[in-house]
Amino acid sequence: MKVELRSIHKYFGPVHANNNISLTILPGTIQGIVGENGAGKSTLMKILSGFIQADEGEILLDDQVITIHSPSDALKRGIGMLHQDPLDFPPMKVIDNLLIGQEGGLFPNKRKVAADIKKLANQFGFSIDTEAYVEGLTVGERQQLEIIRLLWMGARILILDEPTTGISASQKEKLFETLTRLASEGMIVIFVSHKLEEIETLCHRAAVFRGGLLVGEAIQPYHTDDLVRLMFGKPMELGSRLGCHSEENVVEIHNLEIEDPRLHIRDVDLDVKAGEVIGLAGMEGSGQRLFLRALGGLLATTGRTKLLVKGHDLTHEPYSSYLKTGVAYVPADRMEEGLIPGLTLKEHFILTGDTKKLFIDQEESLHRTKVKISEFNIKGRPDSYVEELSGGNQQRALLALLNEPLSLVLLEHPSRGLDLESTIWLWEKLKERCKTGTAVIFISSDLEQILHYSDRILVFFGGKVSKPMLAAETNVDQLGQLIGGKGFVN
Amino acid sequence: MEFNLILVGLAGVIAAATPIVFATIGETITEKAGVTNLSVNGTIILSAMTGFAVATSTDNLWLGFLAGAFVGALVAAIVAFSSITLKQSQVAVGFVLTLMCRDLAYFLGNPFMGLSGPRVPPAFEIPLLSKIPILGTLFFNQDILVYLSFLLIIFANIYVYKTRPGLSLQGIGERPASAYIRGTNVNKMRYIYTILGGALVGVAGPMYSLSVKAGWKGTISGLDGIGWIVLAIVIFGGWNPLRGSLGAYLFAFLQWLGLVLQTSLPGIPSQVLQVAPFPLMILTLLLVNIGNAEWVDRTIMGLPENVRPAISRLLRSMKTNPPSSLGVPFENE
Amino acid sequence: MKSGSRWYRFGIQVAAVVLALVFTSIILLIAKAQPLEAYKNILVGSFSSIEAITNVIVVWIPLLLASAGALVTFTAGLWNIGIEGQITLGAISTTLVLRLLQHSDVSPAIIIFLAVLSGFIGGALWAALAGALKTYGGVNEIFGGLGLNFVATAMTIWLIFGPWKRPGIGSMSGTEPFANTLWLPTIPGLRLSWWSLLIGILALVLVYVLLSNTHFGLKLKAVGKNRKAASVFGIPTSNFMMSAFLICGGLAGLAGALQVLAVYHRLIPSISSGYGYLGLMVGMLINYQAIWAAPVAFFFAALNFGSIQLPIVMKLDSSLSGVLQGALVLFVLMMDGVRKRFEKKA
Residue A479 pLDDT > 90, yes or no? Answer: no
Residue C342 lies in a domain: no
Cβ neighbours of residue C312 closer than 8 Å, sequence gap 6 or more: none
- Of B242, B267, B80, B70, whose CA–CA distance to B161 is shortest? B242
Residue B264, burial from CB neighbour count under 10 angstroms (0-12, 13-18, 19+): exposed
Residue C24 lies in a domain: no
Chain A contact set for C213 (CB, 8 A): 359-360
pLDDT in tens, A374-425: 999 898 899 999 998 887 889 899 999 998 889 999 999 998 777 777 888 8
Cβ neighbours of residue B327 closer than 8 Å, sequence gap 6 or more: B34, B35, B36, B90, B91
pLDDT in tens, A315-343: 888 898 999 999 999 998 888 899 999 99
Between the two ends of chain C, the Cα-to-Cα distance in Å is 14
Q: How many independent structural domains does chain A possess?
A: 2
Do A51 and B316 make contact, defined as CB atoms within 8 angstroms?
no
Residue A238 lies in a domain: no
Residue C61 lies in a domain: yes
Do C214 and A340 make contact, defined as CB atoms within 8 angstroms?
no
Residue B114 lies in a domain: yes
Q: Looking at the structure, do residues A213 and A74 belong to the same domain, yes or no?
A: yes
Which chains, if any, share at least 3 CB pairs under 8 A with chain C? A, B
Chain C contact set for A351 (CB, 8 A): 218-219, 222, 233, 235
Residue B237 lies in a domain: no
What are residue A206's DSSP bridge partners? Answer: A32, A218
- Does residue C344 belong to the interface with chain A, where contact is any CB pair within 8 Å? no
Cβ neighbours of residue C293 closer than 8 Å, sequence gap 6 or more: C64, C67, C68, C71, C204, C208, C282, C283, C286
B/C interface, count of CB pairs below 8 Å: 143
Q: How confident is the model at residue A238 (pLDDT cuts 50, 70, 90)?
A: low
Q: Give A407's DSSP letter.
A: S
Q: How many independent structural domains does chain C possess?
A: 1
Which of A202-216, B199-213, C243-257 shows the lowest mean pLDDT across its residues? A202-216
Among candidates A329, A341, A360 on the partner chain, residue whose Cβ is nearest the Cβ of C215? A360
pLDDT tens, N- to C-terminus, chain B (333 residues)? 478 888 888 999 999 999 999 999 999 999 999 999 999 999 999 999 999 999 999 999 999 999 999 999 999 999 999 999 999 999 999 999 999 999 999 999 999 998 988 998 888 888 888 888 888 888 998 999 999 999 999 999 999 999 999 999 999 999 999 999 999 999 999 999 999 999 999 999 999 999 999 899 988 888 999 999 999 999 989 999 999 999 999 999 988 888 887 777 766 677 777 788 888 889 988 988 887 777 777 777 777 777 777 877 777 777 778 898 888 888 865
Q: How many independent structural domains does chain B possess?
A: 1
Residue A4, burial from CB neighbour count under 10 angstroms (0-12, 13-18, 19+): middle
Among candidates B89, B100, B282 on the partner chain, residue whose Cβ is nearest the Cβ of C143? B282
Residue C341 lies in a domain: no
Kindly report the CATH number assigned to the domain that includes residue A135: 3.40.50.300
Mean pLDDT of A291-296: 94
Q: How far apart are CA C103 and CA C119, in angstroms?
A: 19
Chain A contact set for C219 (CB, 8 A): 351, 355
Residue A353 lies in a domain: yes
pLDDT in tens, B35-56: 999 999 999 999 999 999 999 9
Asked if the bond preceding C311 is cis, omega within 30° of 0, the reply is no
Chain B contact set for A105 (CB, 8 A): 164
Residue B200 lies in a domain: yes
Do A107 and B163 make contact, defined as CB atoms within 8 angstroms?
yes
At A245 the pLDDT is 67
Among candidates C81, C138, C151 on the partner chain, residue whose Cβ is nearest the Cβ of B293? C138
Question: What's chain C's average pLDDT?
Answer: 93
Residue C145 lies in a domain: yes
Q: How far apart are CA B150 and CA B140, in angstroms?
A: 11
With residue B305 as reference, give the H or E element that holds it: none
Mean pLDDT of C150-154: 92
Q: How far apart are CA A169 and CA A167, in angstroms?
A: 7
Cβ neighbours of residue A465 closer than 8 Å, sequence gap 6 or more: A265, A268, A287, A291, A458, A459
Residue B230 lies in a domain: no
The more confident residue out of C180 and B21 is B21
Residue C138 pLDDT > 70, yes or no? Answer: yes
Distances (CA, A) of A357 to A353, A360, C141, C208, C213: 11, 7, 30, 18, 11
Do A359 and C215 make contact, defined as CB atoms within 8 angstroms?
yes
Question: What's chain A's average pLDDT?
Answer: 88
- Of C214, C213, C273, whose CA–CA distance to C59 is shortest? C273
| Rg, chain C, Cα only | 21
pLDDT in tens, C1-57: 344 577 888 888 899 999 999 999 999 999 999 999 999 999 999 999 999 999 999
Structural domain range at position A155: 3-232
Structural domain range at position C292: 34-315
- Of B280, B233, B228, B229, whose CA–CA distance to B254 is shortest? B280
Q: Where are the beta strands (DSSP E) in chain B?
A: 124-125, 141-142
Specify the pairing of strand B124-125 against strand B141-142.
antiparallel
Amino acid identity of A323? Answer: L
Domain stops at, among A232, A266, A297: A232
- Does residue A340 belong to the interface with chain C, where contact is any CB pair within 8 Å? yes
Collapsing DSSP to helix, strand or coil, C185 comes out as coil
Among candidates B78, B108, B232 on the partner chain, residue whose Cβ is nearest the Cβ of C27? B108
Residue A144 lies in a domain: yes
Q: Looking at the structure, do residues A221 and A281 belong to the same domain, yes or no?
A: no
At A478 the pLDDT is 83
Do A360 and C218 make contact, defined as CB atoms within 8 angstroms?
yes
Among candidates C137, C154, C322 on the partner chain, residue whose Cβ is nearest the Cβ of B275? C154
Which among C12, C83, C143, C232 is the top mutation candidate for probing chain B, defined by the most B β-carbons within 10 Å of its own β-carbon? C143
Among candidates A51, A106, A108 on the partner chain, residue whose Cβ is nearest the Cβ of B333? A51
Specify the pairing of strand A15-25 against strand A3-12.
antiparallel
pLDDT in tens, B59-93: 999 999 999 999 999 999 999 999 999 999 999 99
Residue A253 to chain C, least CA–CA distance (Å): 22
- Does residue C147 belong to the interface with chain B, where contact is any CB pair within 8 Å? yes
Q: Looking at the structure, do residues A164 and A71 belong to the same domain, yes or no?
A: yes
Nearest CA in chain B to A49: B181
Residue B181 lies in a domain: yes
Q: How far apart are CA A192 and CA A162, in angstroms?
A: 5
Q: Looking at the structure, do residues A52 and A190 belong to the same domain, yes or no?
A: yes
Q: How far apart are CA B173 and CA B29, in angstroms?
A: 10
Between the two ends of chain B, the Cα-to-Cα distance in Å is 67
C41-80 CB burial, b ≥16 within 10 A, e <16: bbeebbeeeeebbbbbbbbbbbbbbbbbbbbbbbbbbbbb
Amino acid identity of A183? Answer: A
At A490 the pLDDT is 47
At C1 the pLDDT is 37
User: C 208-247 residues with CB below 8 A of A?
Assistant: 213-216, 218-219, 221-222, 225-226, 228-236
Collapsing DSSP to helix, strand or coil, C228 comes out as helix
Do C229 and A323 make contact, defined as CB atoms within 8 angstroms?
no
- DSSP letter string, A75-93: HHTTEEEE-SS--S-TTSB
Cβ neighbours of residue C109 closer than 8 Å, sequence gap 6 or more: none
Do C138 and B292 make contact, defined as CB atoms within 8 angstroms?
yes
Q: Where are the beta strands (DSSP E) in A220-274?
A: 249-259, 264-273
Specify the pairing of strand A205-210 against strand A30-35.
parallel
- Does residue C329 belong to the interface with chain B, where contact is any CB pair within 8 Å? yes
Mean pLDDT of C320-331: 96
Nearest CA in chain A to C235: A320
Cα angle vertex C218, ends C215, C224, to 5°?
A: 140
CB A289 within 8 A of CB A296: no
Mean pLDDT of A33-47: 86
Chain C contact set for A331 (CB, 8 A): 232
At A420 the pLDDT is 77
Residue A340 to chain C, least CA–CA distance (Å): 5
Q: How far apart are CA A304 and CA C210, in angstroms?
A: 44
Q: Looking at the structure, do residues A265 and A189 belong to the same domain, yes or no?
A: no
Q: How far apart are CA A325 and CA A313, in angstroms?
A: 10
- Does residue C208 belong to the interface with chain B, where contact is any CB pair within 8 Å? no
Domain stops at, among A181, A200, A232: A232
Residue B228 lies in a domain: no
Length of chain A: 490
Amino acid identity of A98? Answer: L
Among candidates C30, C153, C333 on the partner chain, residue whose Cβ is nearest the Cβ of B93? C333
Q: How far apart are CA C258 and CA C273, in angstroms?
A: 13
Cβ neighbours of residue C228 closer than 8 Å, sequence gap 6 or more: A336, A337
At A235 the pLDDT is 64
Residue C13 lies in a domain: no
Q: Looking at the structure, do residues A255 and A217 belong to the same domain, yes or no?
A: no
Q: How far apart are CA C135 and CA A147, in angstroms?
A: 43
Residue C323 lies in a domain: no
Cα–chain center distance at B249: 11
At C4 the pLDDT is 53
- Does residue C339 belong to the interface with chain A, where contact is any CB pair within 8 Å? no
Residue B72 lies in a domain: yes
Q: Looking at the structure, do residues A388 and A349 belong to the same domain, yes or no?
A: yes
Structural domain range at position B37: 2-219
Do C31 and B107 make contact, defined as CB atoms within 8 angstroms?
yes
Phi-psi region for residue B218, left (φ > 0), alpha (ψ -120 to 50) or beta?
left
Specify the pairing of strand A264-273 against strand A249-259.
antiparallel
Collapsing DSSP to helix, strand or coil, A204 comes out as coil
Which chains, if any, share at least 3 CB pairs under 8 A with chain A? B, C
Residue B36 to chain C, least CA–CA distance (Å): 13
At A139 the pLDDT is 82
The dihedral formed by the CA atoms of B84, B88, B93 and B95, expressed in degrees to the nearest 10: 120
Q: How far apart are CA A127 and CA B85, in angstroms?
A: 42
Q: How far apart are CA A118 and CA A132, in angstroms?
A: 13
User: B 255-274 residues with CB below 8 A of C?
Assistant: 269, 271-272, 274
Q: In chain C, what percentage of residues exceed pLDDT 90?
A: 83
Q: Looking at the structure, do residues A149 and A285 belong to the same domain, yes or no?
A: no
Specify the pairing of strand A264-273 against strand B141-142.
unpaired
At A236 the pLDDT is 61
At C287 the pLDDT is 83
Which among C2, C210, C226, C343 is the top mutation candidate for probing chain A, defined by the most A β-carbons within 10 Å of its own β-carbon? C226
Q: Looking at the structure, do residues A282 and A227 belong to the same domain, yes or no?
A: no
- Of B271, B85, B280, whose CA–CA distance to B194 is shortest? B85
Residue A241 lies in a domain: no
Domain stops at, among A183, A205, A232: A232
Among candidates C225, C228, C234 on the partner chain, residue whose Cβ is nearest the Cβ of A337? C228
At A224 the pLDDT is 80
Residue B277 lies in a domain: no
What are residue A256's DSSP bridge partners? Answer: A268
Chain B contact set for A303 (CB, 8 A): 305
- Of C299, C279, C263, whose CA–CA distance to C69 is shortest? C279
Do B178 and A87 make contact, defined as CB atoms within 8 angstroms?
yes
Residue A383 lies in a domain: yes
Collapsing DSSP to helix, strand or coil, B19 comes out as helix
Residue C28, burial from CB neighbour count under 10 angstroms (0-12, 13-18, 19+): buried
